[in-house]
Amino acid sequence: FRRSNVVSASGILEYSYKDLQKATYNFTTLIGQGAFGPVYKAQMSTGETVAVKVLATDSKQGEKEFQTEVAMVNSENHEPLSWNLRVYIALDVARGLEYLHDGVIFLLIRTIDGPVCVCRHAVPPVIHRDIKSSNILLDQSMRARVADFGLSREEMVDKHAANIRGTFGYLDPEYISTRTFTKKSDVYSFGVLLFELIAGRNPLQGLMEYVELAAMSTEEKDGWEEIADSRLDGKFDVQELNEVAALAYKCVNRVPKKRPSMRDIVQVLTRILKTRHIKKHQMSLSVATAGEVPVDLEQGETKIPITVHQRDESMDSATDTFE
């Protein structure tokens, strides 16, 4: 919105500038900087905590695009993602970050004795710095893509940086205190994202406080089903959810060195999905499945097209999970 023009569209609840000014304590609760302008935390009169996005006068994107985004968000009406699909999404994102952190380039060099494949790591590693649910996009086949590389940088320490860049709730506490962002900073943000997939709530809704309370009674390994998204209606494998949650809790360890690498995370999520596939295969041995094809999860390839509905039942997961 602008001072003189509150965005209005059919079916969208309108608020006056004065109401939003009050909800954001006169726009002092800055939590991030988006493409359109600043984003503020707001406590509405209904008790809801929401994010208020403001269109800056010097925004690189115009008012028309801003109104289009508002209309699109308002029109969204989809069913909650299934648990199975949430794990696939987590693996897609993990693979994308693994590539950024430890990307490998394969070069085919021809010699007198024949072609030789040379493996080279991408140098230096790239840190995304703003991993959050709104930066994870889903395509028509429900494959997750990591987006918005506006804050991406090489690993570095800048103790003189005046501003902390990133999104409130996903930021690594170590980065906030030392201005040091590393690959483990992305790992922390990914851990928050994992818990968001598990619990169905975001940091602005008290996600991490919710997690810490649960951790006190779960001993960090079992019992995480207590925080499972109620919209899942209990449709998830308890052991699988506990394994994903235990992994997420390692990712948000306050000590960066104790967090796993993205490569470790990919391996754990891959193992979890392979175990799921084995269990499903054992249960369906007596049932002949027409058109069944073998899938290699490590390569993320299959010989049949995956639709929105099929992804939930497929063992496929894209390797090209970044844009």
| Token pair belonging to 284 | 């369906």
What mean pLDDT comes out for the span 203-226?
83
| Residue 5 confidence (pLDDT) | 38
CB 147 within 8 A of CB 139: no
The answer to whether position 148 is within a domain reads: yes
Report whether pLDDT(9) > 70: no
Say if residue 173 is in the same domain as residue 305.
yes
Say if residue 214 is in the same domain as residue 304.
yes
Report whether pLDDT(82) > 80: yes
28-37, 97-106, 293-302: least confident range = 293-302
Say if residue 293 is in the same domain as residue 191.
yes
In the three-class reduction of DSSP (H, G, I as helix; E, B as strand; rest coil), residue 295 is classed as coil
The answer to whether position 122 is within a domain reads: no
Q: Maximum distance among all alpha carbons in the chain?
A: 76
The answer to whether position 11 is within a domain reads: no
Dist CA 70 CA 166 (whole Å): 22
| Token pair belonging to 21 | 């000014």
Say if residue 137 is in the same domain as residue 39.
no
> Could you give the number of structural domains in the chain?
2
Residues of the chain by 3-state class (helix, strand, coil), percent to 5: 40, 15, 45
- Among 11-25, 71-85, 103-117, 223-237, which range has the highest average pLDDT? 223-237
Average pLDDT, the chain: 77
pLDDT band at 301 (very low <50, low <70, confident <90, very high): very low
Say if residue 153 is in the same domain as residue 236.
yes
| Residue 149 confidence (pLDDT) | 62
Cα 234–chain centre separation: 22
Residue range(s) defining the domain that contains residue 305: 83-102+128-313
Say if residue 239 is in the same domain as residue 257.
yes
Active-site pick, 92, 102, 113, 130: 130
pLDDT band at 189 (very low <50, low <70, confident <90, very high): very high
What CATH number is associated with residue 144?
1.10.510.10
Is there a cis peptide before residue 124, judged by omega within 30 degrees of 0? yes
The answer to whether position 123 is within a domain reads: no
The answer to whether position 143 is within a domain reads: yes
Say if residue 63 is in the same domain as residue 144.
no
Report whether pLDDT(195) > 70: yes
| Residue 6 confidence (pLDDT) | 44
The answer to whether position 321 is within a domain reads: no
| Residue 282 confidence (pLDDT) | 83
What mean pLDDT comes out for the span 145-166?
61
Say if residue 65 is in the same domain as residue 90.
no
CB 227 within 8 A of CB 211: yes
What mean pLDDT comes out for the span 144-173?
68
Say if residue 68 is in the same domain as residue 163.
no
pLDDT band at 304 (very low <50, low <70, confident <90, very high): very low
What CATH number is associated with residue 36?
3.30.200.20
Report whether pLDDT(283) > 70: yes
Report whether pLDDT(31) > 70: yes
Q: Is 130 a catalytic residue?
A: yes
| Residue 202 confidence (pLDDT) | 87
Listed as own residue / partner, the contacts of 73-81 with beta carbons closer than 8 Å and 24 or more positions apart are 74/9, 74/11, 74/12, 75/11, 80/200, 80/229, 80/231, 80/232, 81/197
pLDDT tens string 219-263: 667 889 999 999 999 999 999 999 999 999 999 999 999 999 999
| Token pair belonging to 260 | 């796993």
Report whether pLDDT(139) > 80: yes
